[in-house]
Structure 1
Amino acid sequence: QDQWAVLIAGSKSYFNYRHQADVCHAYKVLTERGFDPDKIITMIFDDVANSTSNPFPGRLYNHPAKHEADAVDVYAGCKKDYTGLSITPERFLAVLSGNASFAGGKVLKSTSKDHVFVNFVDHGGVGLIAFPTLGQVLHSKRLVETLKGMHQKGMYKKLVFYLETCESGSMFQGLLPPELPVYAVTAANAKESSWGYYCMPKNDTVKGKHMGTCLGDLFSIAWMEDSDRGQLATESLQEQVRRVTARTTKSHVTTFGDTSFEQENIGRFEFAAL
């Protein structure tokens, strides 16, 4: 059994700093605990770390910090498989589906024995999630049909999908059949916003400098800082969702799909295989 992951930020610009910082933090969460980097596919526009608006060129921070010792640069070592205008709905679906000829780069090569973890962070609306190019969106039915097709092709035994967008619950509500071995966790229900975190004017300071933006998103920060606790061998998916739900106070974390494996530990999806 192998583990695979797809991590994607669907936005661009310094204003959306938090999305790319979230994804690079997620990459760090996985790789620092033994997840094979060759089995992680990342998609970020990559225009934030070296933006002229960034007080720390070439660095991304997902957490405020007073001192250098506390400032964790999540951009360091953050591998980028797809950047810039290559990040489109079609390419994201091609990566998930293992369609290398269309994607033009690294894609999932998982099997029916494997666990797959997908983390998408960006803006969204009812029934859709957004991508960097204005007007490019992915609708809920198309995403769910892709997840069904992946299973029919034997591309996963179990799949966990963490989705951070506004109205993110609408991407799965009433669409994700419980018999499909997909466990989806959304930052918000189908009708509400998700929220940035570590935001200006008071909570965006790194080493004495105001970043002028949000460093992360509330749901994303909640699950990653929980994973950073290192309880990979004992904490279940259900327990992580409980902890994340308790911390995500401005929206309703919602779960969809197959709950039969929510008692499995998070290490089977987010860390090295246990």
Structure 2
Amino acid sequence: MKGSVAFILVFVALSQATFVQQFEKLNRARNNFDGKIWAVVVAGSNGYYNYRHQADTCHAYQVLRNHGIPDEQIVVMMYDDVANSEENPTPGILINHPNGPDVYKGVPKDYTGKDVTPENFLNVLTGNSRAMLGTGSGKVIKSGPNDHVFVYFADHGAPGLIAFPTSELYKNDLNNAIETMHQRKRYKQLVLYVEACESGSMFDNLLKTDINVFATTAANPSESSYACYFDEKRKTYLGDRYSVSWLEDSDNENIEMETLHKQYEVTKKKTNTSHVMQYGDTTISHEIVGFFQGEKPSALNNAPLPPIYDDVPSPDVPIHILQRKIELATSHDDKLKYKVLLEKEQEIRRRISWTVKTIAFHSTEGDKELTELTTLSKPSLNDMECYKAAVQEFDNTCFELDDFEYGYRQIFVLGNLCDAGIPVEKIMSSIRIICH
């Protein structure tokens, strides 16, 4: 009995000591951070079947707002065509997990529709207010050398790029903007969370480790991210596995005490369908989450959440939605309609795959071995200017990527053609010939 009491006393003492150490560490960190927190949250997609991206982004806004970051220090970019879509059975409401609260209410509409572009995003991030005059709210990040900046992005991706509704943001352009911010002393520390397929390719072997930037991504440079939480009422996926993992952690944890490293580990453990990655200055991960998502304690959501379920690779979401609609259909006509749509989706995927392989064959002048290599391996993207030009030509001439998002799964071949040293003029000529 005495041994048990002694053990309990030692355990309590150790627990108290650990708490004191954490408290002292927090105070030291607070003494080193006396600036503001600025945030940019972006949903880069449109269309009701991409419901989850805008729900993720609205939820991110609610986390930041609930933890005390004022609206004037948060910029929201989203197409804003989902909440009030005729397909939404709860008009004006978005939820991010089953039976969850409305995350759409109160979200500012800084930039919507055609204003959600890579150029505007980079202008907002770098504080270029002159370029944003007359566009949306005109709001930009006005951060300085003592401030923290938090960026969250959710949408589709491909090697070396993340997608916006009508165009793409390439890894070089994003990293150049970050370096510009560093040179102009636009932040003390910058943290990015990126939800997209192959999102690791935006930073891998590129994001510097000495410019006070820490990034985590939903996937490594060569794999899909995953959607989750299929909702039978809304007939779409409510969230993305990586995003809901960190968002639900921020809802349920004391983020004014939790470190970024702990949140990364929690998110990594819960995201068991893809490899959550970290890049840049990983020492920043020992900072407090609240220094980037808001320091104000908020009422914790103690209601038990369901385990994350219904994970599907993000590129296959349209297929799975149609399959579920067929299962849920209560009339023969509806079943037939969805079967026809599913067949069309599968056919367009076959056409896109055939088109890209034929472009590769034409560009390599019928070299079967080289063609096979370009259609099997992931690109190094050693020639980004060639890759960008080829992707844009493919988007303009063959399949608009915002309408035919399966194309993002195939354009790696264009990167391989560039890596193989095939002149960009030859690749673009092949694209025009095949697609015309």
Category of TM-score, reference length = shorter chain: over 0.9
The reply on whether 1:21 has 2:44 as its aligned counterpart is: no
Q: State which of 265, 270, 274 in structure 2 corresponds to 1:251.
A: 274
TM-score by length of 2: 0.59
Q: State which of 130, 149, 172 in structure 2 corresponds to 1:101.
A: 130
AA of the residue aligned to 1:150:
M
1:64-96 Cα distance to aligned partner (Å, 9 max, x none): 11xxxxx40000111110000001111101001
Aligned residue number for residue 244 of structure 2 = 221
Rounded to whole Å, the distance in 2 between the matches of 1:184 and 1:38 is 24
1:72-221 aligned at under 5 Å gives the runs 72-104=101-133, 105-133=138-166, 136-199=167-230, 204-205=231-232, 210-221=233-244
Aligned residue number for residue 13 of structure 2 = none
1:4-60 Cα distance to aligned partner (Å, 9 max, x none): 000000000101000000010000011111112210000010000000000100110
CA RMSD of aligned residues (A): 1.1
AA of the residue aligned to 1:106:
K
Aligned residue number for residue 68 of structure 1 = none
Q: CA deviation at 1:63?
A: 0.8
Larger helix fraction of residues: 2
The answer as to whether partners of 1:144 and 1:175 remain within 8 angstroms in 2 is: yes
The answer as to whether partners of 2:256 and 2:296 remain within 8 angstroms in 1 is: no
Rounded to whole Å, the distance in 1 between the matches of 2:296 and 2:38 is 10
Rounded to whole Å, the distance in 2 between the matches of 1:258 and 1:159 is 10
Rounded to whole Å, the distance in 2 between the matches of 1:213 and 1:74 is 16
The answer as to whether partners of 1:36 and 1:272 remain within 8 angstroms in 2 is: no
What is the SS of the residue equivalent to 2:279? strand
AA of the residue aligned to 2:252:
R
AA of the residue aligned to 1:261:
I
Rounded to whole Å, the distance in 1 between the matches of 2:42 and 2:181 is 18
AA of the residue aligned to 1:97:
T
What is the SS of the residue equivalent to 2:286? coil
The reply on whether 1:41 has 2:41 as its aligned counterpart is: no
What is the SS of the residue equivalent to 1:147? helix
Aligned residue number for residue 236 of structure 1 = 259
Aligned residue number for residue 285 of structure 2 = 262
AA of the residue aligned to 1:82:
Y
Q: CA deviation at 1:273?
A: 6.7
What is the SS of the residue equivalent to 2:149? strand
AA of the residue aligned to 1:31:
R
The answer as to whether partners of 2:213 and 2:284 remain within 8 angstroms in 1 is: no
Report how many residues are paired: 259
Q: CA deviation at 1:216?
A: 0.6
Rounded to whole Å, the distance in 2 between the matches of 1:177 and 1:32 is 32
TM-score by length of 1: 0.93
Q: CA deviation at 1:269?
A: 0.5
AA of the residue aligned to 1:265:
I
Rounded to whole Å, the distance in 1 between the matches of 2:296 and 2:49 is 36
Structure of greater relative contact order (alpha carbons < 8 Å, 6+ residues apart): 1
AA of the residue aligned to 1:225:
E
The answer as to whether partners of 1:23 and 1:121 remain within 8 angstroms in 2 is: yes
What is the SS of the residue equivalent to 2:42? strand
The answer as to whether partners of 2:256 and 2:295 remain within 8 angstroms in 1 is: no
AA of the residue aligned to 1:217:
D
What is the SS of the residue equivalent to 1:214? strand
Rounded to whole Å, the distance in 2 between the matches of 1:259 and 1:43 is 27
Rounded to whole Å, the distance in 2 between the matches of 1:273 and 1:47 is 31
Rounded to whole Å, the distance in 1 between the matches of 2:283 and 2:59 is 28
What is the SS of the residue equivalent to 2:114? helix
Q: CA deviation at 1:272?
A: 2.7
Structure 2 gaps of 5+ residues are 1-34, 298-436
Q: CA deviation at 1:180?
A: 1.3
The answer as to whether partners of 2:199 and 2:221 remain within 8 angstroms in 1 is: yes
Rounded to whole Å, the distance in 2 between the matches of 1:216 and 1:72 is 13
AA of the residue aligned to 2:165:
P
Q: CA deviation at 1:222?
A: 0.2
Rounded to whole Å, the distance in 2 between the matches of 1:33 and 1:42 is 16
AA of the residue aligned to 2:88:
N
The answer as to whether partners of 1:9 and 1:122 remain within 8 angstroms in 2 is: yes
Rounded to whole Å, the distance in 2 between the matches of 1:152 and 1:42 is 25
Rounded to whole Å, the distance in 1 between the matches of 2:201 and 2:296 is 31
The answer as to whether partners of 1:5 and 1:40 remain within 8 angstroms in 2 is: yes
